[in-house]
């Protein structure tokens, strides 16, 4: 098929080979102990290097920022070395990869926190549901969330510093840029939204105040990378992780407008019907699209994600003024997604049972079209997994 989706796109100093982006995807497969990326992770990312851009899975900026078992970090030398395997493999395969920087805030559990402390948040408001942790035997376990501790105003510079150090580490690890995760109910989104931010200091109340921490983080990481290599991800009107805001149009209109001033690589917006790894019904499907509103305000490169197929993606770039489309579940199951879309070929279905944790199964063993058609050799995936993990 022919569509501007397959055309090169200029992004900062780079030329993306197409407008199809691999969305950040939590897969919980880092080496333990230490949450360290492995050669298996490197192989998985390199398999997907035909994306115009890869965004790494959400990566905790500090131990305090971890919220799920086995997610990788970017705050120790071992993690930086592990990520170097990933960036080298992606570059050798001709790809580009940004790292997504993540602090989960209240979406955590003492089992994942330094010294078993309470997770931190803008306000001491718990979310409903269960945290995904590993128990003493290293088995996955779901345990109820706890009420987080509200951060003191004096602690907020340290949060900014966590992102800044992680940004420096991402540079050392060989990434091509970074994305600040300010979506899906994690720390920066908890500051943005009125349902999770009841602060009475300069970081709560008016939208300008609730956006302050995000702006400070963005400024700090732009100081490390230069703004043209920094993206920001938002999920306006998203409900995942118990989120909500009294007036999302005012909030996200303000945020989009402030982000104009930075000259970022891109703004990345998650469609509101995406909740984590699932698509949910919108409360009011007739409501004006918040993505459309943001497109009217934000002047730079706009990336969208959530529930796109070829037809919707083509329409978004051809008619809706969207610049880049990120695909999550489709890229997870189709390492050669751009080629499949170009050929209008059938797509592999993602296997939810292997989304989080485990090894190569449901990770590196989704075949390419050429492998399925017998035009390329199908590797012995079990053996490949063993070799990759043995190599360290
Ligand atoms: C689903 C499961 C675990 C993490 C996000 C990082 O929502 C995530 C995530 C999603 O951005």
For the segment 342-365, the average pLDDT, to the nearest whole number, is 98
Per-residue pLDDT, 285: 83
- In the chain, the number of structural domains is 1
Compute the distance between CA of residue 123 and CA of residue 110 in angstroms, rounded to an integer. 17
The answer to whether 231 and 264 have CB atoms below 8 angstroms apart is yes
Compute the distance between CA of residue 57 and CA of residue 98 in angstroms, rounded to an integer. 10
Per-residue pLDDT, 66: 98
Binning pLDDT at 50, 70 and 90, where does residue 283 land? Answer: confident
Binning pLDDT at 50, 70 and 90, where does residue 257 land? Answer: very high
Cis bond upstream, residue 189 (ω within 30): no
Per-residue pLDDT, 392: 72
In-domain check, residue 42: yes
**Hey, how many other C-beta atoms are within 10 angstroms of the C-beta on 158?**
12
Compute the distance between CA of residue 286 and CA of residue 268 in angstroms, rounded to an integer. 23
For the segment 336-350, the average pLDDT, to the nearest whole number, is 98
Range of the domain at 325: 4-364
**Hey, how many other C-beta atoms are within 10 angstroms of the C-beta on 139?**
10
The answer to whether 336 and 372 have CB atoms below 8 angstroms apart is no
Per-residue pLDDT, 284: 84
In-domain check, residue 378: no
CA-wise closest residue to 265 among 105, 52, 92, 65: 52
Compute the distance between CA of residue 28 and CA of residue 36 in angstroms, rounded to an integer. 11
Write out the two tokens for 124: 């001491």
Q: Give yes or no for residue 1 having a pLDDT over 80.
A: no
For the segment 271-275, the average pLDDT, to the nearest whole number, is 93
In-domain check, residue 387: no
Write out the two tokens for 383: 């053996």
For the segment 341-352, the average pLDDT, to the nearest whole number, is 98
What integer best gives the mean pLDDT of the chain? 97
CA-wise closest residue to 16 among 317, 315, 217, 349: 317
Select from 29, 60, 276, 356 the residue to mutate for testing ligand 1; criterion: most ligand atoms less than 8 Å from CB. 276
Catalytic residue among 186, 203, 298, 366: 186
Write out the two tokens for 22: 């691999």
- Residue listed under structure tokens 């420096």: 168
In-domain check, residue 248: yes
For the segment 347-354, the average pLDDT, to the nearest whole number, is 98
Write out the two tokens for 232: 């920001």
Compute the distance between CA of residue 390 and CA of residue 384 in angstroms, rounded to an integer. 10
In-domain check, residue 380: no
Rg of the chain's alpha carbons, rounded to an integer?
Answer: 20
Helix (H) or strand (E) holding 297: helix 290-297
- Residue listed under structure tokens 């917006």: 269
Helix (H) or strand (E) holding 260: helix 248-260
Among protein residues, the one whose CA lies closest to atom 10 of ligand 1:
276
Tell me the pLDDT tens digit for each residue of 117-163.
999 999 999 999 999 999 989 999 999 999 999 999 999 999 999 99
Per-residue pLDDT, 249: 97
- Decide: 276 in ligand 1 pocket, CB within 6 A: yes
Per-residue pLDDT, 200: 98
The structure's pTM equals 0.98
Chain centroid to Cα 98, Å, comes to 10
Binning pLDDT at 50, 70 and 90, where does residue 366 land? Answer: very high
Compute the distance between CA of residue 230 and CA of residue 12 in angstroms, rounded to an integer. 9
Atom of ligand 1 nearest to the CA of 104: 6
Binning pLDDT at 50, 70 and 90, where does residue 287 land? Answer: confident
The answer to whether 234 and 182 have CB atoms below 8 angstroms apart is yes
- Decide: 324 in ligand 1 pocket, CB within 6 A: no
DSSP, collapsed to helix, strand or coil, labels residue 219 as helix
In-domain check, residue 375: no
DSSP, collapsed to helix, strand or coil, labels residue 176 as coil
Tell me the pLDDT tens digit for each residue of 197-232.
999 999 999 999 999 999 999 999 999 999 999 999
CATH code assigned at 221:
3.20.20.70
Strands 274-275 and 278-279: antiparallel
276 CA to middle of ligand 1, Å?
A: 5
186 is catalytic: yes
In-domain check, residue 21: yes
Binning pLDDT at 50, 70 and 90, where does residue 307 land? Answer: very high
In-domain check, residue 392: no
Tell me the pLDDT tens digit for each residue of 19-49.
999 999 999 999 999 999 999 999 999 999 9
Strands 97-102 and 177-182: parallel
Q: Give yes or no for residue 175 having a pLDDT over 90.
A: yes
- Decide: 26 in ligand 1 pocket, CB within 6 A: yes
């Amino acid at each position: 098929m022919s569509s501007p989706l397959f055309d090169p796109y200029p992004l900062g100093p780079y030329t993306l080979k197409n407008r199809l982006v691999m969305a950040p995807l939590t897969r919980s497969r880092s080496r333990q102990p230490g949450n360290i990326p492995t050669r298996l992770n490197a192989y998985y990312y390199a398999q997907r290097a035909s994306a115009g851009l890869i965004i790494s899975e959400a990566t905790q900026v500090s131990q305090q920022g971890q919220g799920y078992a086995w997610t990788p970090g970017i705050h120790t030398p071992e993690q930086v070395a592990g990520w170097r395997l990933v960036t080298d493999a992606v570059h050798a395969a001709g790809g580009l990869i940004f790292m997504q920087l993540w602090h989960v805030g209240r979406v955590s559990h003492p089992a994942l926190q330094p010294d078993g402390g309470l997770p931190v948040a803008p306000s001491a408001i718990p979310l409903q549901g269960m945290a995904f942790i590993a128990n003493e035997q290293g088995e996955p376990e779901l345990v109820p969330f706890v009420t987080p501790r509200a951060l003191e105003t004096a602690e907020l510079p340290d949060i900014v510093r966590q992102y800044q150090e992680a940004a420096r580490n991402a540079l050392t690890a060989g990434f091509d840029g970074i994305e600040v995760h300010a979506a899906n109910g994690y720390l920066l989104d908890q500051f943005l939204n009125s349902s999770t931010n009841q602060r009475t200091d300069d970081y709560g109340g008016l939208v300008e105040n609730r956006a302050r921490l995000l702006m400070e983080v963005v400024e700090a990481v732009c100081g490390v990378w230069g703004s043209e290599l920094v993206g920001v991800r938002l999920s306006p009107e998203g409900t995942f992780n118990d989120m909500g805001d009294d007036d999302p149009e005012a909030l996200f209109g303000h945020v989009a407008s402030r982000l104009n001033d930075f000259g970022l690589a891109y703004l990345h917006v998650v469609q509101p019907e995406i909740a984590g790894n699932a698509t949910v019904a919108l409360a009011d499907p007739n409501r004006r699209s918040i993505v459309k509103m943001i497109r009217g305000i934000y002047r730079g490169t706009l990336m969208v994600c959530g529930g796109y197929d070829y037809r919707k993606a083509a329409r978004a770039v051809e008619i809706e003024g969207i610049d880049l489309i990120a695909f999550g579940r489709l890229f997870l199951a189709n390492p050669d997604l751009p080629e499949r879309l170009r050929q209008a070929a059938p797509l592999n279905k993602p296997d939810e049972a292997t989304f989080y944790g485990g090894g190569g199964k449901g990770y590196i063993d989704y075949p390419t079209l050429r492998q399925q058609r017998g035009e390329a050799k199908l590797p012995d995936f079990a053996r490949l997994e063993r070799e990759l993990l043995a190599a360290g």
